[in-house]
Amino acid sequence: MSPTSAGQLAVPQLHRAARIEDAVHRLVERRLRHTGWRVHTVAYPGYGAPGWVRVMCRVLLGRPDNRQRGRPEKVRGWRSFATLPAKHIRVDIESGGERHETRTDRSGFVDTIVPVDLPPGWGSVQIRVPEAEPVQAPVRILDPRVRFGVISDVDDTVMVTTLPRPLLAAWNTFVLDEHARAAVPGMAVLYERLVTAHPGAPVFYLSTGAWNVAPTLTRFLSRHLYPAGPLLLTDWGPTADRWFRSGREHKRATLTRLAAEFPDVRWLLVGDDGQHDQEIYREFAVSYPGNVAGIAIRRLSPTQAMLAGALPHSASDSVSAPPVGQEWLSAPDGAGLWQLLREAGLV
């Protein structure tokens, strides 16, 4: 009888692409450490409620100068990808005098729920990793009385990126200077008005973009005066069972998770008609009608739709009727959406 049949659990075999990626990482890591690359931690904004918090960070190998203070913010996209994940590294999360230990996954990520009691609003937890300086991870704690929140797409909703057309997407991600990226007109004002009208309302930024660009995206949102909020991004590359991660499934799974974590919150879902936001939001509204306050879709111009890889005016036609009882609003910019939201009584 084999060990597995004797009662031991079989360990799932990694996808071939993941095994190749791991082998390359092992080889590259040894060489980079010899050239002076060191471990450093990138903390991402987390969120939670009284009694728990979701902590997200990534532990990477990078050039020593990547950790220096006072480095200019003008960073080209490709520099965000000039790193290597530190796999299976011990990570200690500290808050309120308590310490919780976990480890990074094969992509260098930590995404874990920590039992900690922080007051509503913005707080922080400390992340400690051997060989690296400790960092503070900001966390947004939702007040249990909050009943309204915003979940926003990023690409072509708050930032003009002309995705998903491959060549333009690669240019925007790896080459274009972050200061050259354009904000969608009126959206920052719209979000600020929404959080003012609903005190304590959180804003989550949900995107299929890679975690590598999180610092760049955070600076972009801050510079254009968007309300601060957790980023819910994904990791590019092979997974344990497939060649590439699915962006649609990432969005679907994240929406479902937020509905389970905050069952009393009704979300305004904001996206655009250039990709698959309408389809994903409609599915979520049908499955979780009590968690949707409304759906606001930024309507792309014919030129923007073409650059985004969609046929002008075809996206709206391809989506079936909005769910019964749900406000479904569409306008070309933040000002137009704000007017429709006011008329619908959502502000």
Structure tokens at 205: 């930024």
Please compute, for residue 245, the number of CA atoms within 13 A of its CA located in the half-sphere on the CB side. 18
Q: Give the C-alpha separation, 170 to 267, whole Å.
A: 32
In the chain, the percentage of residues whose pLDDT exceeds 90 is 53
- 138-142, 190-194, 309-313: which has the minimum mean pLDDT? 309-313
Angstrom distance (rounded) from CA 222 to CA 183: 11
- Between 29 and 137, the higher pLDDT residue: 137
Q: What is the pTM of this model?
A: 0.82
Helices 277-287 and 247-261, packing angle to 10 deg: 30
Tokens 């590259």: give the residue: 28
Per-residue model confidence (pLDDT) at position 68: 46
**Nearest alpha-carbon partner for 130 in 75, 89, 82:** 89
More confident site: 303 or 118 = 118
Query: Does pLDDT of 316 surpass 90?
Result: no
For residue 297, is pLDDT > 50? yes
Name the least confident of 71-75, 112-116, 255-259: 71-75
Helix or strand (DSSP H, E) at 47: strand 38-49
**Predicted local distance difference test score (pLDDT) of residue 260:** 98
- Measured in whole angstroms, the distance separating CA 327 from the mean position of its chain's CA atoms is 25
Phi, psi of 102 (to 5 degrees): -150, -175
Class of domain 148-343: alpha beta
- Mean pLDDT in the chain? 81
Element (H, E) at 210: strand 203-210
Domain extents for the chain?
16-65+73-141, 148-343
Give the DSSP letter of residue 35: T
Q: Answer positive or negative: Cα dihedral of 149, 220, 252, 305.
A: positive
How confident is the model over 116-136, as a mean pLDDT? 95
Would you state the pLDDT for residue 165? 52
Encode pLDDT of 199-223 as tens digits.
999 999 999 888 888 888 999 999 9
Distance CA(130)–CA(89), nearest Å, equals 8
**pLDDT confidence of residue 71:** 44
What 3-state DSSP class applies to 49? strand
Average pLDDT over residues 178-198: 91
Residue type, 254: T
Equal CATH topology for 16-65+73-141 and 148-343: no
Say how far residue 165 (Cα) sits from the centre of its chain.
20
Q: How confident is the model at residue 107 (pLDDT cuts 50, 70, 90)?
A: confident
* φ and ψ at residue 96, rounded to 5 degrees: 60, 30
pLDDT at 208: 87
CATH code of the region 16-65+73-141: 2.60.40.10
Sign of CA dihedral 11, 12, 13, 19: negative
| Cα distance between residue 252 and residue 249, in whole Å | 5
